Structure 1
Amino acid sequence: MANTDGRPDVAQILSHPSYPDTIWKLTPTKSEYLPVGEGRGGPFKIHYEVHGNGPVKLVWIMGLGSRKTAWQRQTLKFGHEEGNKYSSLVFDNRGMGLSDKPLLRYSTSEMAKDVLEILDHLGWTAERELHVAGVSMGGMIAQELALMAPNRICSLSLISTAAQIENTTSFVENLRTRVNMFLPKTLDRSVSDAAHMLFSNAWLDSPDDTRLPNASTPNVELPSSGSYGMFETNYQRFAAQEVTKRLDLDGFPKKGFMMQAIAAGWHYKSPKQLEALGDKIGRERIMVLHGTKDNMISVPHGRKLIGLLKPGVGVIKEGVGHVFMLEDAKWHNEMMESLILKTEKLKEGKK
């Protein structure tokens, strides 16, 4: 039975032959639980993975209510297909996935300190070594991380994020959107609402365009069928990922989501702080990307962030929603590659 929008319901997603292949088995170079937060309400454990063993260090910071596997399209490229060139760090933020869910006040600055402890543990401490990319709440954490350790940042990519969450719509519409995130609802409704908030309808209804791991991909475990399967539409693939996440009650707890939401909602960087961030890192090292169809953090937030930061690359992309790295993975990855190449040359003193 289809949803009211004509898209498959959860039962249809669960019965799809490609559903078991939703999360790819990308074998990490390193994986462990790291105790962090001593003296900051901890210690508690953060689960992280490093994919690849190349010299170029990438740090991928996930957003509200999502797990590190949401980066799998980037992990595939930057940790497996080109794992001899890049080392990619992915992790579950406190409150989600395999990481601990401590019951305390979360903030984006405290979550950035969690990341910093992982980086120190890995020995990723050299000057201008880190290429940091953060999406949504992850972009807020990335801002905090960049202010804490600006000399370690080689490039900073802020995707679909903001200096602070502001009301850019009517009061009633804004209230409805925020309340809707926390109302109890069916799994079908939860998946449908998430798709609407995160993606453009045009992309959701288009054929599945995902680049999949295959037998020639290094360090990938293939399913028993011998190959990863496709879905008919992008909506089906997203819904499969969302259902997988939401059915894991330990990995997607309500309390963790609430505490992360508080961190994102209270995030604030003043114009003066953003000016300092740009000065310390170098504006030519910063990229800000935002989509005009973003229903989670509306496009005025992206325009304002570009106006305040004055990044070397600032793009408002027409027709794209909140999650660039899924909706336009090829373009996003090419933008990342370009930024990395440019800033690595800056580090080497090249023009």
Structure 2
Amino acid sequence: MKPYRTSGMAKDVKDLLDYVQWDQDRSLHIFGVSLGGMLSQNLCLLIPKRIKSISFVSTRCGSVLDIPSPRAMATLLNIVCRKGPYKKRVDLLLELLYPASYLNQSTANGQTRRDDLLKYYQTWFDRPQQLPLSGIFGQFCATAFHHCSDSCLKRIAAELYPAKIAVISGNQDELIDPLRSFELRGKLPGSELILFENAGHILNSQAPQQFNLLMERIIAEGNEAFQTKS
């Protein structure tokens, strides 16, 4: 099994964009979530002039002391190793991705959001076409060893300007500490920090309407930044 690197994954994205000829200046609005946010940091270094807006969602820039909590590590290892019954594994995953207050909310069908999410995740958990263990291991390594230095982040802010840069997090994220978003915001001059109250790691799932409205605003501000002044 070979570990992945976020730099290599970003190169893959660039190659795909080049292949489909999506290479125009200031033509991209990027929303990078979790590992996607780490990958996006490297993509910004590769193609800064193609980007109109970049949103780093529930993610981190990485440092020596920035490692997942023991609880998060144990949960992820159980899932990777497929240890224990399906329902127990998914329950542990849900508790890592969503606040308990959200999971316990009642839904219109008389169940809870936890029940609905269990059914949703069952559509892709424990299926023959599931991601092979080598792929899971590769992504785990890419996340664990990701690091975008202070100088690289400063370069991103300078080379993307005047593109819109947003850093977005839930204030109850158990997988990636919200403090990592404050750190990222502090190292990206001119960026905006947006915190979702009572929200966990998967913002687009937990608060889809609020998240979609935010996406529309960020895209609009990215477009406005490059409008020709009359």
TM-score normalised to structure 2 length: 0.89
Question: Normalized per residue, which structure has more strand?
Answer: 1
| Alignment-mate amino acid for residue 243 of structure 1 | Q
What runs of 5+ residues in structure 1 fail to find an aligned partner? 1-102, 210-229
Question: Normalized per residue, which structure has more helix?
Answer: 2
CA contact (8 A) 2:3 2:137 kept: no
Matches within 5 A, 1:121-270: 121-164=19-62, 167=65, 174-183=69-78, 184-208=83-107, 232-270=111-149
| Alignment-mate amino acid for residue 174 of structure 2 | N
**How far has the Cα of 1:178 moved from its partner?**
1.2
**Cα distance change on mapping 1:284 and 1:152 into 2, 3 Å:** closer
Q: Distance in 2 between matches of 1:283 and 1:271?
A: 19
CA contact (8 A) 2:72 2:174 kept: no
CA contact (8 A) 2:171 2:197 kept: yes
- Which residue matches 1:86? none
Choose the corresponding residue for 2:203, options 320, 324, 348. 324
CA contact (8 A) 2:102 2:113 kept: yes
CA contact (8 A) 1:168 1:300 kept: no
Q: Distance in 2 between matches of 1:175 and 1:202?
A: 22
Q: Distance in 2 between matches of 1:160 and 1:241?
A: 21
Q: Distance in 2 between matches of 1:139 and 1:249?
A: 28
**How far has the Cα of 1:168 moved from its partner?**
6.4
Larger RCO: 1 or 2 (CA < 8 Å, sep 6+):
2
| Alignment-mate amino acid for residue 95 of structure 2 | H
Q: Distance in 2 between matches of 1:290 and 1:283?
A: 22
CA contact (8 A) 2:58 2:169 kept: yes
What runs of 5+ residues in structure 2 fail to find an aligned partner? none
Percent sequence identity over aligned pairs: 26
Q: Distance in 2 between matches of 1:112 and 1:208?
A: 39
Q: Distance in 2 between matches of 1:185 and 1:304?
A: 36
Q: Distance in 2 between matches of 1:271 and 1:232?
A: 46
**Cα distance change on mapping 1:311 and 1:159 into 2, 3 Å:** farther
Stretches of 4+ moved more than 4 A in 1?
165-169
**How far has the Cα of 1:350 moved from its partner?**
4.7
**How far has the Cα of 1:259 moved from its partner?**
1.1
**How far has the Cα of 1:136 moved from its partner?**
0.4
Provide Cα deviations, 1:223-269, integer angstroms capped at 9, x if missing partner.
xxxxxxx7843223322222222122432322211110000100001
Provide Cα deviations, 1:131-152, integer angstroms capped at 9, x if missing partner.
0111100100111111100000
Q: Distance in 2 between matches of 1:190 and 1:298?
A: 22
- Which residue matches 1:308? 187
**Cα distance change on mapping 1:334 and 1:318 into 2, 3 Å:** same
**Cα distance change on mapping 1:207 and 1:284 into 2, 3 Å:** farther
Q: Distance in 2 between matches of 1:270 and 1:136?
A: 17
**Cα distance change on mapping 1:350 and 1:159 into 2, 3 Å:** farther
**Cα distance change on mapping 1:143 and 1:168 into 2, 3 Å:** closer
The answer to whether structure 1 residue 289 and structure 2 residue 184 are counterparts is no
CA contact (8 A) 1:287 1:313 kept: yes
**Cα distance change on mapping 1:157 and 1:350 into 2, 3 Å:** farther
Aligned residues: 226
**Cα distance change on mapping 1:311 and 1:138 into 2, 3 Å:** farther
Matches within 5 A, 1:70-109: 103-109=1-7
- Which residue matches 2:215? 336
**Cα distance change on mapping 1:231 and 1:264 into 2, 3 Å:** farther
The answer to whether structure 1 residue 278 and structure 2 residue 157 are counterparts is yes
